[in-house]
Every structure is written in C-alpha cells, then in structure tokens.
Amino acid sequence: MLSSYPTSLDFSFHLGFFRRPRLCHSLEGSFSKSGNKQYKGTFIAYNNSVTKDNLLISHPPVAKQESPPPLVSALKASAEQNVASFHFPGHNRGRAAPSSLTQLIGSRPFHHDLPELPELDNLFSPGGPILDAQRLAAKLFGSSETWFLVGGTTCGIQAAIMATCSPGEFLILPRNSHISAISAMVLSGAQPKYIIPQYDFDWDIAGGVTSSQVKEAIKELEMEGQKAAAVFVTSPTYHGICSNLTEICQLCHSHEIPVIVDEAHGAHLGFHPQLPNSALKQGADLAVQSTHKVLCSLTQSSMLHISGNIVDRERICRCLQALQSTSPSYLLLASLDAARAQLSENPDTIFNKAVELAYEAKYLIQQIPGISVLDFASFSNFPVIDPLRLTIGFSQLGLSGYEADEILCRDHGIICELLGTQSITFAINLGTSRDHIQRLVLGIERLVATSAPIHGNKGRVEHSGYTLFADISMSMTPRDAFFASKKKVSIRESLGKVCGELVCPYPPGVPVMIPGEVITEKALDHLLDVRSKGAVITGASDPSLCSIVVCDV
C-alpha cells in the first residue's frame, strides 16, 4: 500500500498463490462412518520415471546426533535460571504476558522469548551456540558456511543479490521470480535481464529455467558489452518443478558468474532417493531455503547457504547485518537448530513415509475419472517434479480451482496449500498422515460423484490466452521507479505510462506489472479478466483496479 506516492512501494507480500481467507469446518471421523468405501491404507507402488541420474541423490550416511542441539540447550538453560530480570522484552519472561495469548499458546513460549544475553550468543558476530548450530547445519546441508535467518527467505534472497550485484550491474532472473528478488534489485540497484518462463495455459502454471535460456541471456548481454553479475533461479517452483541446476551452474561458472538459487521450497531435497539433489549438490554458489516449509522450524525462519569461493562471504555478512533485525527471536533461531537436529537423526529415512504417502495419493487420485494430476508431460523441459507436491486439476469436470477448493474445504475439511484458476496444489510433509491421504482421496471421489459429467472439451475452464510477459518493455530500473515521483491515474489513462507499483493477481501469483515497465493494453486486459474471475490483486494501491499508480515522468 502506498503511504507516500513519491517514494513508497509495498514489497511485503509473498509471491505465492492465493490463500483462502476463511476457516473450514473440520469433519474428522466422518469417513470412518461411511459405508461407501473401505480404505485399507495399503501402499500401492508407483513407478517414478525420473530419468536424469545427476539430479538424483544417493545420500551418504550421517552419524546420529548424540548431543542435544546447542542453541536449544543454551536457550533452555538460560530460561531456567533463577534471576531478577531487568531487561527486554517487556513481558519479563512471561510474568506480564498478555492473557489472551497465554490462553492460546500457554506461558512457556514467553519464558524462552529472550534477548541477546551473553550465554545466547550474537547473531551478527556468533562465537557460541549460534555459531555451533550454524556449523552443524552447514555440515548437514553440504555448505561451506550457513547463516540462520529470522526474516524469512525474503531476507536471504535480498542479501544474496545485494552481495553479488552492485548498482548498474545486471541480474539474470526469470520474470516470475519471487517479489523479494524485485525488492533486492531496488536495494542493490541491479538491472534485470529477464528470462521468460515456459507457461502452461491448461494448468495456468509457470515452469522453471533451462540452461539454454540462461545461455541466451548471457549471450545477449555480451552482445551489448555487458556481463551478468549473477544468475538467479527458482528451483523448485511453488508447484515443485525443478530446473536442471547442474547444467545451469556449469554454464555460469564457465563464465565466472555466480548462481543464486531460491530454494525456499526445497530444504528437504537430497534427503531421499526419490527427491532431486539440492541446489548446493548441483553446484549453486548461494542457496536460500525456507526451513519452515517442508522441514519443521517455526514460520519465518530460514537458512542461507554458501558454497565455493566465487561469492565474497564477508559481503554476505555485511548485507545480512543491514537487513536482519538487531533483536532476533531466539525462538526462531532455536527452531532452526531443532529442525536441523531432527533431520540429522535419520537423514536417509526421515522422508520415507512422506514420499510413500505422496506416491500412494498420486496413484489413487490418477484413477479417479475426470481428475488430472500435474506430471512431466506439461513441463517436459524440466526433468524432475518434487513428489511431495501434488497438483490436481478439475477442469474436465467443468470446475475451476476456486470451485473445487470451495467444495473440498466446505464439505470435507480439506485445506490446500495453493489455489489456482485451473488447479489445487497440496503439500505433503513429515506431518502428513495416511488418514489425511484417505480423506483427500475420498473427498475428491465424492466431489466427482456429485459433479455433472462433462464430455469432450466442453467443460474446460476458459483462460484469457494472454501470453504473460510477451511484450515487456522496461523504461526504468526497478530502483529508479521505486524512488521516482508518482501519481494515481485511472486504469485506462495508465496505458503507455511507466508502472509505479507491482501488480500481481492471485492466482496465478505471477506479477503482471513491475515498477519501471511500460503498461500495455494486453496486460491491463489480462488483469481485468482475472479479477473478474475471482483473482485477488495484490501490491496495487487500488485492488479494484479502478486506478493505478504510475511514475510521474
């Protein structure tokens, strides 16, 4: 939201898919009373046809973690001290904690919500339990150094781009990158060299990045007398589509260009034979992971990993000091240490159950008439899709993702991770149970049974057919557009002007207009079309799109 037109833009929202702003009724136990179908929970083998051997991992054995997590232990010992506290935070180790919150979560989290006491170490200059915890994480994930983040992967991506790109230098990145990459270009002054991602309109989903696309971008910059300061890749995508990072890293390193990987959705990669290798294993120089997504740390906690010697680690440290809070939450930091310890206990087998359940669910759902499951056929240029992401399409039934989601949530208490115009995506993790897989399968079966049968293509949900990003014209860099004077004009008056805000419809969660780009008629028509179908417009000062903020140039 614009608080002051001349200089302010809101880069705070998460570039994902639309999340349901409502509660669902829980129907636990209702399936056990159903006489329609008995679900025995027997695993049905599914042949996962991954063909790129270099993207699969045979993880070496790691010794079990015998000692308790260092940061968790330090936090526990500090909280148990019998002391008179005259320090922040104001709830004073829970003594003045708000009752409305203690009734919800209890008082113990407040006991451990401590500041940077000497025994708890310093995040910016660690030499005690934080340093020990980060070193153990680096060993487990295969990095030369790891930093704990309390500002989410957003903070790590911003630091990675700022550490590799100086003002005026070029960053090669896909046009559907996370919003944090755009804000990082504002902070660093880097100029974007966009790669247009493959787009599947039947699914309304963007793919990843290919090495040939990166090679072409590098060549185009060289023809202009420029060199990329870094290449930024999102792998896996929110739908689990993985790029061939091995090829991309080999190509970039031959040009002495560092590779940054937004691995927010891939902290678990490499810890099961059916999961692709991690970004670090494939040669990435910097990888940022949301440890809270598939692994089990607290929301907002992430890790930044570095490998090799192309990137200056001191510059990374300076960038993190500029971006991270000087009052980090030790609950978040300790949760990163705990999640690492949990994974270290059985790194080769911890995901066995989750992967088994994912293949079982995919197999069973594929047998349901009228239901589609996202697979390699839609994105053949990308050899691996994370099996723990399950994207289901309902268009053969004449249902949009919105409509199918409404039924599954309302009638069956099934809550998805991502909601799209053509599909729903479900995330399977360490906490997924067979009961919930049963509930998902039976819920979809009942949805199909109560939907009118559709024949041929008559039931397909229509899309606008607009090729996203086909006619991008950048008049200003994101940084210059961010700091430019701005004004608000009607949507039709904005045609041909320079966009002053980021406009992103959910779904599909891909920014249609970025500050500094020239506003086109196709982009406006597309935004109005998806809004009429129920998409939420995020980032715009006027979500109704009656007006748009433009640069006053």
> For the domain that residue 199 is a member of, what is the CATH number?
3.40.640.10
pLDDT for res 355: 98
- Whether residue 65 is predicted with pLDDT greater than 60 in this model: the reply is no
Is the same domain home to 318 and 379? no
Assign 466 a pLDDT band (cuts: 50, 70, 90).
Answer: low
**Considering the domain boundaries, does residue 73 fall inside one?**
no
Q: H-type helices in 290-422, by residue range? A: 313-323, 330-345, 352-366, 401-412
Reported as type and span, the H/E element at residue 234 is strand 228-234
Assign 380 a pLDDT band (cuts: 50, 70, 90).
Answer: confident
| C-alpha to C-alpha distances, 277 to 240, 357, 423, nearest whole angstrom | 13, 20, 27
The residue with greater pLDDT, 48 or 204, is 204
Mean pLDDT, the chain, whole residue set = 87
Q: Is the dihedral of CA 135, 137, 142, 145 positive or negative?
A: negative
How does DSSP classify residue 435? Answer: H
pLDDT of 280-308, one tens digit each? Answer: 999 999 999 999 999 999 999 999 999 99
Assign 64 a pLDDT band (cuts: 50, 70, 90).
Answer: low
Is the same domain home to 418 and 488? no
CATH classification at residue 511:
3.90.100.10
Looking at 345, 364, 392, which one is the last position of a domain? Answer: 345
The tokens describing 506, both together, are 């959910």
What's the whole-number mean pLDDT along residues 34-47?
38
Is the same domain home to 369 and 496? no
**Considering the domain boundaries, does residue 315 fall inside one?**
yes
Is the same domain home to 445 and 522? no
pLDDT for res 54: 41
pLDDT of 186-239, one tens digit each? Answer: 999 999 999 998 888 889 888 999 999 999 999 999 999 999 999 999 999 999
Of the listed ranges 78-82, 142-146, 269-273, 509-513, the one predicted with least confidence: 509-513
**Considering the domain boundaries, does residue 209 fall inside one?**
yes
What's the whole-number mean pLDDT along residues 489-509?
87
**Considering the domain boundaries, does residue 319 fall inside one?**
yes
CB contact at 8 A, 526 and 466: yes
pLDDT for res 529: 81
Is the same domain home to 218 and 137? yes
pLDDT of 239-269, one tens digit each? Answer: 999 999 999 999 999 999 999 999 999 999 9
**Considering the domain boundaries, does residue 158 fall inside one?**
yes
Is the same domain home to 412 and 513? no
Looking at 320, 345, 370, which one is the last position of a domain? Answer: 345
Is the same domain home to 356 and 324? no
Q: H-type helices in 400-532, by residue range? A: 401-412, 434-449, 478-483, 521-532
- Whether residue 511 is predicted with pLDDT greater than 60 in this model: the reply is yes
Is the same domain home to 212 and 339? yes
CATH classification at residue 393:
3.90.1150.10
Is the same domain home to 437 and 512? no
**Considering the domain boundaries, does residue 84 fall inside one?**
no
Q: Which residues contact 193 (CB under 8 A, 6 or more apart)?
A: 170, 171, 172, 173, 217, 220, 221, 228
Is the same domain home to 209 and 286? yes
Chain center to CA of 19 = 13
**pTM, to two decimals:** 0.87
Separation of alpha carbons 172 and 229, rounded Å: 8
Separation of alpha carbons 516 and 526, rounded Å: 19
- Whether residue 461 is predicted with pLDDT greater than 90 in this model: the reply is no
Is the same domain home to 363 and 491? no
Is the same domain home to 323 and 355? no
Looking at 322, 345, 368, which one is the last position of a domain? Answer: 345
pLDDT for res 531: 83
Assign 37 a pLDDT band (cuts: 50, 70, 90).
Answer: very low
Assign 508 a pLDDT band (cuts: 50, 70, 90).
Answer: low
Number of domains making up the chain: 3
- Whether residue 107 is predicted with pLDDT greater than 60 in this model: the reply is yes
pLDDT for res 62: 44
89 upstream amide cis, omega within 30 of 0: yes
Of the listed ranges 28-32, 151-155, 350-354, 437-441, the one predicted with least confidence: 28-32
What's the whole-number mean pLDDT along residues 468-492?
90
pLDDT of 132-187, one tens digit each? Answer: 999 999 999 999 999 999 999 999 999 999 999 999 999 999 998 998 999 999 99
- Whether residue 61 is predicted with pLDDT greater than 70 in this model: the reply is no
pLDDT for res 368: 96
**Considering the domain boundaries, does residue 503 fall inside one?**
yes
pLDDT for res 467: 58
Assign 270 a pLDDT band (cuts: 50, 70, 90).
Answer: very high
Structural domain for 355, as ranges: 351-450
What's the whole-number mean pLDDT along residues 359-367?
97
Separation of first and last alpha carbons in the chain: 21
**Considering the domain boundaries, does residue 278 fall inside one?**
yes
